[in-house]
């Protein structure tokens, strides 16, 4: 019997308990031993709930019990999660977590403690919910030089953008529903402003390139400025708006960014809808490998966490080597990246046509019925730096979205 403790009985934590209860026989067979939930830690009481008899409010009960070999951290946030996880590892307990905030901030240190202790710090669920992507980067793809990672890494924002485009929902209604469905972070600003996707691309990039990518140095824009009108223009252009997170190695330099992009209907990410995530990993020899699946939600995420528990139970006294150096990877700014932009303007196209042509020769003008007092235009390929400089020559700019 392998005893585990679950820290946090919220969306993911209750999913972990449910999955272990439901599939206990097959999980035990795959782990080589029965997995027993000895404790669940939460701030609240759950009268009449299945966890009532194992519920504790004091973390020290778990820490001081030597029979607990694996701790599942699904509380979220950096503190007290960091303190609890570090203490657990130092006490010789393996940790499985879905907490990307914790992993992005303290991943290398926690991996290093686990390595020294001969135990494991596993975090498959921290990126892409149910999608296996961390394990493949750490094992199946290790023979090749990874050149690029690009994808939709946040379920909440993809759900919001999909509902706005397909159902004509307002932003607020889509967000509220994503929260009800258990997709959103406790503070949904992390989803909406792109911070969650930023932490996830930092985690994937650190593992892929072997050095620590500081998430605070990644250029990050969220979807809070995307409006229903932008989506009408996107449709007219045959595109969908997607929050993309990416990192790239090119000519000796590393780049990373998170921002909304216009994705054309021919692009594989165009049809990644709702809470689904998809991640492309491009290697020098392997070319593109794509990972796709549910990016958030109680049971999909819980399955990824429990799979880590199974792995930890199979390797109770053996560290599964993960290379994530504490040395920082230097990121180059995005100002020289070249791409087309869609720009939304107020006023009439005839009044601004000449100025737009002078700033962005060959720009394609467009209008939609839903924007009677404004119009849009699409530039040819231009660097971020040039684009920002030339845009200053125009008045009435209401927004801009990059083309993928």
- List interacting residues with ligand NDP (CB under 6 A): 8-13, 41-44, 74-76, 80, 98-100, 125, 129, 182-183, 185-186, 296-297, 301
Q: Which is nearer to ligand HSE, 113 or 130 (CB)?
A: 130
Q: Which two tokens stand for residue 174?
A: 């889509």
3-state SS class at 202: helix
Q: Which is nearer to ligand NDP, 195 or 324 (CB)?
A: 195
User: Taken in order 185, 187, 191, 192, is the CA torsion positive or negative?
Assistant: positive
CA–CA separation, 90 and 121 (whole Å): 11
CA–CA separation, 395 and 398 (whole Å): 9
**What does the per-residue mask of binding to ligand HSE show for 174-193, with x meaning CB under 6 A?**
---------xxx-----x--
Q: Which is nearer to ligand NDP, 43 or 143 (CB)?
A: 43
Closest CA to 353 of 339, 363, 340: 363
Smallest gap from residue 37 Cβ to ligand NDP (A): 15
Pick from 28, 76, 129, 374: which binds ligand HSE (CB under 6 A)? 129
Q: Which is nearer to ligand HSE, 31 or 223 (CB)?
A: 223
CA–CA separation, 402 and 261 (whole Å): 5
Smallest gap from residue 97 Cβ to ligand NDP (A): 7
Smallest gap from residue 303 Cβ to ligand HSE (A): 13
196 interacts with ligand HSE by CB under 6 A? yes
> Is 353 a residue of the active site?
no
What is the 8-class DSSP label of residue 201?
H
- Measured distance between the N- and C-terminal CA atoms of the chain, rounded to whole angstroms: 50
CA–CA separation, 93 and 70 (whole Å): 5
What is the 8-class DSSP label of residue 352?
H
Smallest gap from residue 128 Cβ to ligand NDP (A): 8
Q: Which two tokens stand for residue 93?
A: 């307990």
Q: Which member of 100, 105, 150, 200 is catalytic?
A: 200
User: Which residues sit at the interface with ligand HSE, rule CB under 6 A?
Assistant: 129, 154-156, 183-185, 191, 196, 295-296
* Active-site residue set: 200
């Amino acid at each position: 019997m392998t005893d585990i403790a679950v820290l946090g009985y919220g969306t993911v934590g209750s999913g972990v308990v449910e999955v272990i209860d439901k599939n206990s026989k097959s999980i035990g067979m795959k782990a080589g031993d029965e997995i027993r939930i000895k404790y669940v830690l939460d701030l609240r009481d759950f009268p009449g709930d299945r966890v009532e008899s194992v519920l504790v409010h004091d973390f020290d009960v778990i820490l001081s019990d030597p029979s607990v070999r694996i701790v599942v951290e699904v509380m979220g946030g950096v503190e007290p999660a960091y303190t609890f996880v570090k203490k657990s590892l130092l006490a010789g307990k393996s940790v499985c977590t879905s907490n990307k905030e914790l992993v992005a901030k303290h991943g290398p240190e926690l991996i290093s403690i686990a390595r020294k202790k001969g135990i494991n710090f596993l975090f498959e669920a921290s990126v892409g919910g149910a999608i296996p992507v961390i394990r493949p980067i750490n094992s199946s793809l290790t023979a090749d030089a990874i050149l690029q990672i690009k994808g939709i890494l946040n379920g909440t924002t993809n759900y919001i953008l999909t509902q706005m485009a397909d159902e004509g929902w307002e932003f607020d209604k889509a967000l509220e529903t994503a929260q009800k469905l258990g997709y959103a972070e406790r503070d949904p600003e992390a989803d909406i402003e792109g911070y969650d996707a930023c932490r996830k691309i930092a985690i994937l990039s650190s593992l892929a390139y072997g050095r620590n990518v500081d998430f605070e140095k990644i250029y990050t824009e969220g979807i809070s400025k995307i409006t229903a009108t932008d989506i009408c223009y996107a449709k007219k252009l045959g595109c969908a708006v997607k929050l993309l997170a990416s990192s790239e190695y090119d000519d000796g330099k590393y780049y990373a960014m998170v921002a909304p992009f216009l994705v054309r209907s021919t692009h594989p990410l165009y049809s990644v809808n709702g809470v689904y995530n998809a991640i492309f990993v491009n290697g020098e020899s392997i070319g593109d490998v794509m990972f796709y699946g549910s990016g958030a939600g109680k049971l999909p995420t819980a399955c990824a966490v429990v799979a880590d528990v199974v792995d930890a139970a199979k390797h109770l006294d053996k560290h599964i080597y993960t290379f994530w150096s504490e040395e920082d990877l230097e990121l180059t700014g995005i100002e020289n990246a070249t791409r087309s932009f869609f720009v939304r303007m107020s006023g009439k196209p005839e009044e601004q046509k000449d100025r737009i042509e002078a700033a962005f020769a060959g720009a394609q003008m467009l209008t939609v019925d839903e924007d009677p007092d404004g119009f849009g235009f699409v530039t040819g390929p231009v660097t971020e730096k040039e684009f920002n400089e030339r845009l200053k020559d125009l008045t009435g700019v209401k927004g801009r979205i990059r083309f993928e």
